[in-house]
A and B are shown apart, each in its own frame.
Chain A
Amino acid sequence: EAGVAQSPRYKIIEKRQSVAFWCNPISGHATLYWYQQILGQGPKLLIQFQNNGVVDDSQLPKDRFSAERLKGVDSTLKIQPAKLEDSAVYLCASRGGLAVNEQFFGPGTRLTVL
């Protein structure tokens, strides 16, 4: 079974620019998460989707971050405009199928904001 796919793997932008990340979860997984992992820290939840609905976005900086999962499959995370402190790895994870209590992670997108 194919894993969680993310692109791009790396992105370098200047502050105040916009950037978008894409995630394709494991086929059939209804739950999708976006985490932010700042260097030296553990991942922190940004947003959780159940199918195409938002379950939890309480930690998403909504003034600059947005995310969508229109058809309940792929998801995009956008930052506009980016700040220096947004430099991090953005991890997508999905959950579903028989492994109900396990999240499967993609390789992440490493964002550097200059």
Chain B
Amino acid sequence: AQSVTQLDSQVPVFEEAPVELRCNYSSSVSVYLFWYVQYPNQGLQLLLKYLSGSTLVKGINGFEAEFNKSQTSFHLRKPSVHISDTAEYFCAVSLSNSGNTPLVFGKGTRLSVIA
């Protein structure tokens, strides 16, 4: 079975500062990796995904993530955050041998951007 660990439950950061949200996963088989964002009282929105190819993935809103197979990590980064980035961020995995498997989520990291 797969599992996802998000190492920080809360990350406060000042506006325009860089941020990294950490994600590690465990799986005995190949996986696809995802980052979702959840704004208050809303559903989940896909930020970016890694399926194959280049290990550096760029997503929406200036976010990027790097897949590191040896460290089983998929950390999310943004060079300069805005107040509007305040939200809950979830890392997730699904099996790569089937396009239909459900997502397994981490517990989430709450990013708070301080003016």
Q: Which residues of A contact B (CB under 8 A)?
A: 4, 31, 33, 40-45, 48, 50, 55-56, 91, 93, 95, 100-108, 110
Closest 4 CB pairs of A and B: A42-B105, A105-B43, A105-B44, A45-B102
| Assembly CA distance A44 to B103 (angstroms) | 8
| Assembly CA distance A103 to B32 (angstroms) | 12
Contact with A107, one of B42, B51, B102 (Cβ below 8 angstroms): B42
| Assembly CA distance A107 to B42 (angstroms) | 5
| Assembly CA distance A104 to B49 (angstroms) | 13
Q: Which residues of B contact A (CB under 8 A)?
A: 4, 32, 36, 41-46, 49, 51, 90, 92, 94, 99-100, 102-108
Task: Identify the closest chain B residue to A48 (Cβ).
Answer: B102
Verify B107–A42 contact, CB threshold 8 A: yes
Task: Identify the closest chain A residue to B103 (Cβ).
Answer: A103
Contact with A4, one of B43, B49, B104 (Cβ below 8 angstroms): B43
Verify B49–A102 contact, CB threshold 8 A: yes
Return 11 A-B CB contacts under 8 Å, by A number.
A42-B105, A42-B108, A48-B100, A50-B100, A91-B43, A91-B44, A100-B99, A101-B99, A106-B43, A107-B42, A110-B41
| Assembly CA distance A103 to B99 (angstroms) | 10
Residues of B contacting A106 with CB < 8 Å? 43
Task: Identify the closest chain B residue to A33 (Cβ).
Answer: B102
Distance in Å: Cβ of A91 to nearest Cβ of chain B: 6
| Assembly CA distance A4 to B46 (angstroms) | 14
Residues of B contacting A91 with CB < 8 Å? 43-44
| Assembly CA distance A107 to B102 (angstroms) | 18
